[in-house]
Chain A
């Protein structure tokens, strides 16, 4: 059919054609292999990436719940600001990308069009501020200071402003009702960190970049409840950000309200009285150091004795929690936390610890009874107690002869407790106890009274205090012996001698340690809240309650109420008779003992008060004042560092707190109308379905009003308060401190 020879195919061409064929097949094989690799081997990986590609979340923040006082007065709530925002997604749907709408909006808000446009543009490498660097699917705030009129203009003509919303938005506010600051108890919020966002990403309550998280106090403890649940809407979007898929939406659940047992008025009174007491202390002369008292920090706790609920908790120095709102400035932050600050963020009621001084004697008394000593036995209250050349003196060399345990507690006789502790120390085998467990009644009792561990109050970062028992001594010595042994000198200065002693036998329970310990000196540390638990238990017959501030968690609509019930932590290791005895002794402290000079004229018949004063020595500093008191329903514990004696520095203030709560005037007359809280608040405030809370009005400053009503005289000048104080300042009577002799380092009232 053609002129082509049938045999025209040369082998060279045939071979090359085969080569081409093989090449082609290997190319296709390569494609197939790669396809298998991508789709089968790595398929799951890519599928994950693909799903991340086109789902965008829009998170609607939940309104944070309020923190209320026992009567419903808001201690922390939210302020509404009118925020005008623009939705980029909606703007881009318009023909001119929303330019006309933004121009109209600018006119309404009185801003320039350019300014508004800059606020809604997205930040990238080339775009300078102002620009939006959040999610483009999130409404972009244009202003948070819109007036109600502007917001109305926008909302009433919604069709003229597609994609623009004017919504009230919540901003945290610490209202300080009645001037009650409550800063350290409430805590504060600060912006969420990247870490937290990543961690909460897959949880049921993811964070927004703009979210605030509770960092301290109740804000932190109850953060989860207060925060609520942000609403999440998931949109499927295409590569241009246009929404193509249906939205899967969870509505935001506003945070619950926290009802606390705090009473804003009592809180204010407690704060005011604490500050006032500190101010007065600074005007007092300390004979030992030869200068005025520094009174640099203090704390007061008012607690319901029968439930452990905290009615007021103040810590000084304080600060204004509103500095945190809207982001704290570097300057303010330094002021709160810097080296030169007085650390006002510390809640000294739970984070401040010092030696308890004589307030510890209730523990020693219980320990003595436990160890088998008769309550009414005659224990010698001599003017001093000598052990192997060491002299431990009683307060100003007082002596009462043989007295009962109750009387020893009442007159705060150190030598009685020295003697008891010393006998027990010897019974346990002295410095080298025999094999087998030493009884250590005095140390066991401290643990049984809840010392050396957190009380478990519903506040973060509570400290434990310390019981200097054998175990602690051993571990403390191990940690420090190297530096002690290096530093200590046999014939050196006082500090060097102590280090030398500690180096040799710091791991052992020395006789002097036990003697000092029995009156709350030495290495013992307690917190005001621990004292409150102990004295509260004495008030209620021996039950130690875990202190609580949260009373109930009430949902935003008031429908669900989750009560926080009082929790029993344990029983005091004392029998009924002993408690009765101690109760009588502590009442004696008020009527004729160390606190009597501050409670003259108190209506003890109507409102029996009990108290124990304490003055703890701190090496290198002025003495710490302690005053632990209780009535039938309340316990009030106040401590002030570097302020002198328990009754001298705190007596006045504590009495004023009781005055305010029970409506007692300075002359002892009771006027129930003036009583802020004669019995504990039991009912919970009502939260209405619409979220509003019925709360009584709190006057501008309950503390000052109380002062006025308690006195017939006009309101005192803040700097010269309390005539009673003036009468007694000259002596600050039971301040006593001597140069320590060896072995007589510590003493207290």
Chain B
């Protein structure tokens, strides 16, 4: 467990000073995954423009300041980048040791949401109002905790060289570790986050090399659970309605189907090059709800067109492609599992978010990584990016 020392490792003699050191062949800066970082920054900047476009005229929420959301989005991005640097500096291995503490904190956070401290936004009781106009969504950090915790449990024996694959007991333990926070989040109810967590668990199990039986068993259980939820009416009315509207958006265009319909009109009207930034009539007219957060992609679709919206998908693709490579190229299973978990998270959340605006997925309240406005989710994805960078910089260059 010498991970924390990884920073100072240097294969060369006298320490060099200044820029030379930063750009030395094996320096930290040279070993960072720049495509991922640049893509994330680009997405955040595009996001800030889109958020600004969606909110500059919404006097009822921007408190009369057209730049209110723009400034905050940039601030969130800045804080997120600091968190990334902190994560790199700490290193994913140090965080492995901190899993029990993180796990405890996360559980406390999401439990607090269920107490009177929590508040409800758009039907999901998943927020804690911190004060000063800030609020936190602890379930975002639970995603990281689940990845780190499961990776720690599943990789321990394998990385120690005892076993080739995690055994059944370990898998059970890991599933139990994930199940507790997932159940709490489900109670909120924050269905979108639970779906993301299920995907994370699947990704983690796949990457851990756990027996096929576990993977398929889990898939079967998920399907059975879904049917049970449907049949036993565990879901709230609005959640069922969203699914129904997804299946048939013209069912009730003024009611449930309104979101999906207006979102599709906004994106569809963009065409190849879009209406131009700040010139989308659907956006200016605020026909699409939650346009700075969950439906931010519709702004890109309408105002930037196929070129701009496609660019967002490509940038997300770069991040996911590089992250997958990091998962494959790192030597220890722990890093692999963490990276794979993050890939599963980002991939599903992006697909669900964009898919719902395009009408191929049901509507759930999930933000688009880096692009959507929202502090907690922004912080969480940057921490995850820090974990990816940490995994990359800590593998030997030769690997």
Question: In the bound complex, do residue B287 and residue A1 qualify as a contact, i.e. CB atoms below 8 Å apart?
Answer: no
Task: Please tell me if the beta carbons of B313 and A244 are within 8 angstroms of each other in the complex.
Answer: no
CB neighbours of A20 from chain B (8 A): 203, 206-207, 324, 327, 340, 343-344
Q: Chain B at the A interface: mostly helix, strand, loop or mixed?
A: helix
A49 vs B269: C-alpha distance when bound (angstroms)? 8
Could you tell me the distance between the alpha carbons of A8 and B396 in the complex, rounded to whole angstroms? 14
A10-33 interface code vs B (CB 8 A; 1 in, 0 out): 101110111111011101101110
Give A43 to B309 CA distance when docked, in angstroms. 14
| Contact indicator per residue, chain B 276-311, by CB within 8 Å of chain A (1) or not (0) | 000001101111000000000000011001100110
In the complex, A51→B308 CA distance in Å? 21
The reply to whether the CB of B73 lies closer than 8 angstroms to some CB of chain A is no
Determine the distance from Cα of A736 to Cα of B246 in the docked complex, in whole angstroms.
Answer: 86
Q: Which of A234-242, A555-563, A586-594 contacts B (4 or more CB under 8 A)?
A: A234-242
A577 within 8 A of partner (CB): no
Instruction: List residues of chain A with CB within 8 A of the CB of B66.
Output: none
Q: Which of B17-25, B116-124, B330-338 makes up part of the contact surface?
A: B330-338
A28 and B351 form a contact (CB under 8 A): yes
Give the residue name and chain of the A residue nearest to B268 (CB): A46
Residues of A within 8 A of B393 (CB): none
* A53 close to B287 (CB less than 8 A): yes
**A39–B317 CB distance below 8 A:** no
Chain B contacts of A23 at CB under 8 A?
A: 347
Q: Which listed residue, A3, A6, A10, A39, touches B301 by the CB 8 Å rule?
A: A39
Given A2-B2, A27-B347, A31-B358, CB of A21 within 8 Å of CB of B286:
no
A239 touches B287 (CB 8 A): yes
By a CB distance below 8 angstroms, the chain A residues around B302 are 50
The reply on A434 being an interface residue by CB < 8 A is no
Chain A proximity of B26: nearest CB distance (Å): 12
Main secondary structure of the interface of A (DSSP, over half): helix
Nearest-CB residue, chain B, relative to A27: B351
Q: Do the beta carbons of B285 and A42 come within 8 Å of each other?
A: no
B interface residues, tally (CB under 8 Å): 63
How many residues on A have C-beta within 8 angstroms of the other chain's C-beta atoms? Answer: 49
Which residues does chain A contribute within 8 Å of B320, judged by CB atoms?
24-25, 28
Judge whether B267 and A35 touch: CB under 8 Å. yes
Q: Are the CB atoms of A244 and B284 closer together than 8 Å? A: yes
In angstroms, Cα B152 to Cα A160, docked, is: 72
B165 near A8 with CB under 8 A, answer: no
> A17, B324: Cβ atoms under 8 Å?
yes
Query: Contacts A20-B203, A28-B316, A238-B287 hold; do A34 and B360 have CB atoms under 8 A apart?
Result: yes
Whole-angstrom CA separation of A17 from B207 in the bound complex? 6
Please judge, given known A-B contacts A14-B328, A38-B264, A238-B285, whether A1 and B316 are in contact too, CB under 8 Å: no
Residue ID in chain B nearest A48 by CB atoms: B269
Instruction: Report the nearest B residue to A37, measured CB to CB.
Output: B358
Nearest A residue to B354 via CB reads A31
Residue B45 interfacial (CB < 8 Å) = no
How many Å lie between the Cα of A22 and that of B267 in the bound state?
Answer: 27
A347 to B174, CA, bound (A): 94
B321 and A39: CB pair below 8 A?
no
Nearest opposing residue in chain A for B330, CB measure: A9
Inter-subunit contact A31/B324 (CB<8 Å): no
Q: In whole Å, how far is A286's beta carbon from the nearest beta carbon of chain B?
A: 70
Which of chain B's residues 55-98 have a Cβ closer than 8 Å to chain A?
Answer: 57
Q: Is B244 an interface residue (CB 8 A)?
A: no
* B209 on interface, CB distance cutoff 8 Å: yes
- Minimal beta-carbon separation of B261 from chain A (angstroms): 9
List the 7 shortest-distance A-B pairs measured between CB atoms, nearest first: A46-B268, A50-B269, A238-B285, A47-B269, A21-B324, A43-B271, A4-B332
- Sample of 7 A–B contacts (CB below 8 Å): A2-B332, A3-B159, A31-B313, A31-B350, A31-B351, A35-B313, A43-B268
